[in-house]
Amino acid sequence: MKDTSGDDLETELVSENDPKIVVNSLWKVFGQNNPHQALDEQYRNKTRDEIQQELGLIVALRNVSFNVYSGETFVVMGLSGSGKSTLVRCLIKLIEATSGEVLVDGEDVTNFNADELLQFRRSKMAMVFQNFGLLPHKNVLDNVAYGLEIKGINRERRHKEALEMLERVGLTGWGEARPRELSGGMKQRVGLARALAVEPSILLMDEPFSGLDPLIRRQMRLELVELQKGVHKTIVFITHDLDEAVTVGDRIAIMRDGEIIQMGTPQDIVMRPADDFVREFTLGVQKTKVLHAGSVASKPDVIVKDSDTIETLRSLVHGSDSAYAICVEDQGAFKGLIRRETVDGIKLSEKKPLRDYFDESVEVIPSDTILEDLLPTLIDSDHPVPVIDKRNRCIGVATRRDVLRVIASESDD
Ligand SMILES: Nc1ncnc2c1ncn2[C@@H]1O[C@H](COP(=O)(O)OP(=O)(O)OP(=O)(O)O)[C@@H](O)[C@H]1O
Ligand SMILES: [Mg+2]
């Protein structure tokens, strides 16, 4: 499996957290015969189909390993039958893994006894299903409060908390309604509110929006992203739609035939697909919605430090074709931009410090700005736009040409 994560700064920041979920060499083999046979050395190089033919066993998960960090939305993506649901069910031990570990906050879920498992499912992990899973005879409020009812929380308190959750998902005033009176999107908001009500630290979402109309589906994705900014849950989100994956995911794992074949940020996956299979997936994705300014930024021709002399500035600018120089502090923090005309106009007799010449008012763009949001700034600007990272260091400049290249490559696809 190709792990392309860690290539950019955002991944670096995510991985500074402790992993919330650690999955180590997880296998799930279905079938009547001894499932452990499929793990034997002699089958390691055989395909899933070959193993099925020879042993009558289905290898649903094959040596799967990954970490999910606290507060991260981790997307598992793959075609039908690739093992996504099996994986998410193993995380909560709805299915017993054949081999491997699932550590949540350092504890191995695969070893939990019935009591521990019950406790774990009631408090730490909540699941949102594709078919909503609402109780038809209960009203919306009681559906949302259901997890709290099971925990033995009294009626008054659970209703109060359920009302807050309904407000969170935009369903204020719907508490008395029955599930059948709601649209699909509203039902799924109830499903989400019910999962959030038990205050789990982890949300497992198995194709939660797949049953919805495309328009509602897109809206729900954006709502989830907004909601997550407020709740900071650790989310494992299953989908077979890359557009959805890149909208909601901080990182994406792509599965095929029970294996993870690539794992990385949406930018990694779109810019550096591990193989033709992944590339196929990425073709339909609008790159200007996925790629960040940081991924197209290029090194400016001329960089000067604010402690440099005017002579240094002049010789660097005149020794290049560049129409501007970028000025940074010693630690790399962006200070300003100096246009070539300004440099040309500096008289030799002037003895002012460099910082008196650079334009500190130029707009800078954070490196995680998507290209679509960068375009208006670029169009209004008569110079390349400095791109800064989370520590205010200038990592490069974005030019109209850089963005046009991405748009042009999209129309080639
Ligand atoms: N209970 C089971 N018994 C036997 N085989 C199973 C069982 N559950 C899943 N499988 C097989 O394991 C493989 C992975 O199934 P899984 O449901 O995890 O796929 P998925 O990626 O979730 O697919 P989908 O996108 O269709 O939901 C499939 O080949 C499936 O037939
Ligand atoms: Mg599934």
| Distance from Cα 270 to the centre of ligand 2, integer Å | 23
Q: Which atom of ligand 1 is nearest to the CA of 258?
A: 14
Cα atoms in the Cβ-side hemisphere of radius 13 Å centred on 47: 6
Q: Is the CB of 78 under 6 A from ligand 1?
A: yes
Instruction: Provide the sign of the torsion angle of the four alpha carbons 259, 272, 284, 375, taken in this order.
Output: positive
- Domain borders along the chain are 2-124+200-285, 294-412
The residue type found at 310 is I
| Cα-based distances in Å from 409 to 36, 75, 269, 277 | 46, 26, 16, 19
Q: Is the CB of 80 under 6 A from ligand 1?
A: yes
Tokens standing for 73?
């939305």
| Distance from Cα 122 to the centre of ligand 2, integer Å | 23
In this structure, which residue's CA is closest to atom 3 in ligand 1? 30
| Calpha distance 9→367 (Å, rounded) | 9
| Calpha distance 44→57 (Å, rounded) | 14
Neighbour count for residue 352 (Cβ, 10 Å): 9
Pocket residue to mutate for ligand 1, from 32, 59, 61, 84, most atoms within 8 A of Cβ: 84
Q: Is the CB of 285 under 6 A from ligand 1?
A: no
Which region holds residue 132: left if phi is over 0, alpha if psi is between -120 and 50, else beta? left
Biggest alpha carbon distance in the chain? Answer: 90
3-class SS at 90?
Answer: helix
Tokens standing for 93?
């031990």
pLDDT at 1: 58
| Calpha distance 144→158 (Å, rounded) | 9
pLDDT at 412: 56
Alpha helical stretches, state H, 92-203: 114-123, 140-144, 146-150, 155-168, 184-197
| Distance from Cα 60 to the centre of ligand 1, integer Å | 6
| Distance from Cα 125 to the centre of ligand 1, integer Å | 22
Look up the pTM and report it. Answer: 0.81
The topology (CATH level 3) of 294-412 is CBS-domain (3.10.580)
| Distance from Cα 31 to the centre of ligand 1, integer Å | 12
pLDDT at 16: 56
Instruction: Provide the sign of the torsion angle of the four alpha carbons 314, 318, 320, 321, taken in this order.
Output: positive
3-class SS at 202?
Answer: strand
CA 1 to chain centre: 19
- Please state which architecture CATH assigns to domain 2-124+200-285: 3-Layer(aba) Sandwich (3.40)
| Distance from Cα 62 to the centre of ligand 1, integer Å | 13
The tens place of each residue's pLDDT in the chain, 413 residues long, gives: 555 544 443 444 445 567 999 999 999 999 988 999 999 999 988 999 999 999 999 999 999 999 999 999 999 999 999 999 999 999 999 999 999 999 999 999 999 999 999 999 888 999 998 888 899 999 999 999 999 999 899 999 999 999 999 998 999 999 999 999 999 999 999 999 999 999 999 999 999 998 888 888 889 999 999 999 988 999 999 999 888 998 899 999 999 999 999 999 998 898 889 999 999 888 878 888 888 898 888 888 899 998 888 888 889 999 998 889 999 988 888 888 999 998 888 887 777 888 788 887 888 999 999 999 998 888 888 888 999 998 889 999 998 888 888 777 765 55
Contact between 39 and 27 under an 8 Å Cβ cutoff? The reply is yes
pLDDT at 282: 86
Pocket residue to mutate for ligand 1, from 57, 85, 94, most atoms within 8 A of Cβ: 85
Rounded to 5, what percent of the chain is helix, strand, coil?
40, 25, 35
Q: Which atom of ligand 1 is nearest to the CA of 86?
A: 18
Q: Is the CB of 240 under 6 A from ligand 1?
A: yes
| Calpha distance 282→245 (Å, rounded) | 11
Strand arrangement, sheet containing 334-339: 303-305, 324-328, 334-339
DSSP calls for 328-367:
E-TT-BEEEEEEHHHHHH--TT----GGGTSBTTS--EET
3-class SS at 406?
Answer: helix
pLDDT at 411: 56
Q: Is the CB of 191 under 6 A from ligand 1?
A: no
Neighbour count for residue 13 (Cβ, 10 Å): 13
| Calpha distance 120→180 (Å, rounded) | 31
Rg (CA), the chain: 26
pLDDT at 9: 39
